[in-house]
Structure 1
């Protein structure tokens, strides 16, 4: 039951993000070609390659529910093969055979390439000492912190681009950014704390180390989010 609830929660977030990104891209680039579906599928393919390598192949020991929420729930709802198929069929039905062929070719090649890049990034991050810097009585999971930074940059970059293209009041934009940053910092920080607990550390005996990791992750992600917002404004 916990696994089903985790997948449901992850899926709800993924579906909402897919709707916002697809709608924003459609308003930005138009609806003559399914750019929104292509973009969410490419992003989801990269992230599932990165996270699959991290959470499964590298045997990072976090709860199965957390894995299911991320891989099956969030990324499963973020990406969509059915919408890609429907968009392609509509293009064929309208006589746009060139666009239909381009959509099929671009979706398959870019998504497979994105998965491959994600896997390479995950393997590279864990190449040195399994992604952890260790010393007597302490550790820094630099690979997981780097993954958090990559996720923060992608989210802030996409949000920055779309918020400029979608008509929203300044108040709604501020609220969305605050919620986005707050949720990401909380979940990514808790993820690191859970990892440290499963490695034998505890808040009781290693409070300074765990708080330092949590705060460091937050500061790095805030900096990366700021960079993503700045880069997004230039696009």
Structure 2
């Protein structure tokens, strides 16, 4: 039961931060490309990679990993925005969104893991 509360607490922080970050980033770009969603997804992937490489702690992973990172990142919005780009006559931008987002998300995760290993002297 405690893990569920930790997930909820993390999500209560991650979801509003996602919304605010998305709006702040997107407002600074005059383009149809979803820079706000891209930003939160890459940052969340890097943070989750970092957390995953640390020595396992169920409470931290519940709150920060599942709750915070899960609410900060958004696969559903990524999908919707990709489909919207394709529907609105920007199929190349839609394809670029998929390619760049997946590549950067995986890269962020790898970089986060590498940073955790470097800081902790792990494997």
Please give the per-residue CA displacement for 1:210-230, whole angstroms capped at 9, x wherever unaligned: xxxxxxxxxxxxxxxxxxxxx
Counterpart residue number, 1:200:
none
Runs of 4+ in 1 over 3 A off after TM superposition: none
Measure how far apart 1:116 and its partner are.
Answer: 0.7
Pairing 1:164-203 to 2, within 5 Å after superposition: none
Pairing 1:1-235 to 2, within 5 Å after superposition: 1-30=1-30, 32-56=32-56, 62=57, 64-127=58-121
Q: Is the 8 A contact 1:91 1:97 kept in 2?
A: yes
TM-score (norm. length: structure 1): 0.50
Q: Is the 8 A contact 1:3 1:65 kept in 2?
A: yes
- Unaligned runs of 5+ residues in structure 1 are 57-61, 131-235
Please give the per-residue CA displacement for 1:22-77, whole angstroms capped at 9, x wherever unaligned: 01111111351100000000101111111110143xxxxx4x23320100000000
Structure 2 CA distance, aligned partners of 1:96 and 1:55? Answer: 44
Q: Is the 8 A contact 1:55 1:67 kept in 2?
A: no
Q: Which has the higher contact order (CA 8 A, sep 6+)?
A: 2
Over the aligned positions, Cα root-mean-square deviation in angstroms equals 1.3
Of structures 1 and 2, the larger Rg is shown by 1
Aligned residues: 122
Counterpart residue number, 1:205:
none
* Distance change in 2, residues 1:31/1:15 (3 Å): farther
* Distance change in 2, residues 1:31/1:7 (3 Å): farther
Structure 2 CA distance, aligned partners of 1:11 and 1:30? Answer: 30
Q: Is the 8 A contact 1:41 1:80 kept in 2?
A: yes
TM-score (norm. length: structure 2): 0.93
